[in-house]
């Protein structure tokens, strides 16, 4: 199981409506389990996000950095990293 920081888990709990119409987790433990189940990743830059999503088969070549940062599955974390959750 991938380990996520407390900050990542709390951020996801507070902002999960960015990607999902209904909550998928209500506690830190549920958030951690959900993120682990969908193999969510924390990446350090938009370049890493682009490379990761491209590797997962998503067509991101023509997306600007702003469009990429605004994608529903990309959560811009307060520390400057990015959480990518493929719902």
Tens digit of pLDDT at every position of the chain (87 positions): 568 999 999 999 999 999 999 999 999 999 999 999 999 999 999 999 999 999 999 999 899 999 999 999 999 999 999 999 986
- Tell me whether residue 41 is in a domain: yes
- Tell me whether residue 36 is in a domain: yes
Q: Note the pLDDT of residue 40.
A: 97
Q: Note the pLDDT of residue 55.
A: 94
Distance CA 63, CA 53 (A): 11
- Tell me whether residue 65 is in a domain: yes
Q: Note the pLDDT of residue 5.
A: 97
Q: Total domain count for the chain?
A: 1
- Tell me whether residue 52 is in a domain: yes
Range of the domain at 39: 6-84
Total-model pTM:
0.92
Encode burial over 28-44: b for 16+ CB neighbours within 10 A, e otherwise. Answer: eeebbebbeeeebbbbe
- Tell me whether residue 55 is in a domain: yes
- Tell me whether residue 1 is in a domain: no
């Amino acid at each position: 199981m991938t380990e996520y920081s407390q900050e990542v888990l709390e951020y996801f709990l507070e902002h999960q409506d960015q990607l999902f119409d209904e909550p998928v987790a209500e506690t830190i433990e549920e958030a951690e389990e959900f993120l682990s189940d969908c193999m969510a990743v924390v990446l350090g830059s938009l370049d890493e996000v682009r490379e990761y999503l491209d590797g997962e088969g998503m067509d991101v070549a023509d997306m600007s950095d702003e469009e990429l940062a605004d994608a529903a599955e990309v959560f811009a974390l307060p520390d400057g990293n990015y959480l990518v959750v493929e719902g």
